[in-house]
Amino acid sequence: MGAAAKLLAGIIVFLLGIYWYVAPLFSNHFLSSMVPKTVGSTSQAFLVVFFGIFGLFLIFAGLIIAWIEFEDLKWEKREKKNRK
């Protein structure tokens, strides 16, 4: 898998993280029915925390992947230029 494909995958993961938070604001999102409205047990508390943090994980993972692959593309371009 090339660096450009990985860069695109990182951007997609980042956009999925943004979608995780933005989609419930504009429509009846399918995940909104899964998040408990009140916290009464440990498993419900876990779900609330999971749904709150998972989007941030996607955003940061996507940004890190995209950044690393962008730097890799720059490095490859510089190496090609130096070989000529």
CA distance 17 to 10: 11
pLDDT for residue 5: 92
List CB contacts of 4: < 8 A, sequence separation 6 or more: 69, 73
Per-residue pLDDT 10s for the chain (84 aa) are 688 899 999 999 999 999 988 887 776 666 666 666 666 788 888 888 888 899 999 999 999 999 999 999 999 999 988 887
pLDDT for residue 29: 63
CA distance 53 to 73: 30
pLDDT for residue 28: 67
Burial 70-82 (b: 16+ CB within 10 A, else e): beeeeeeeeeeee
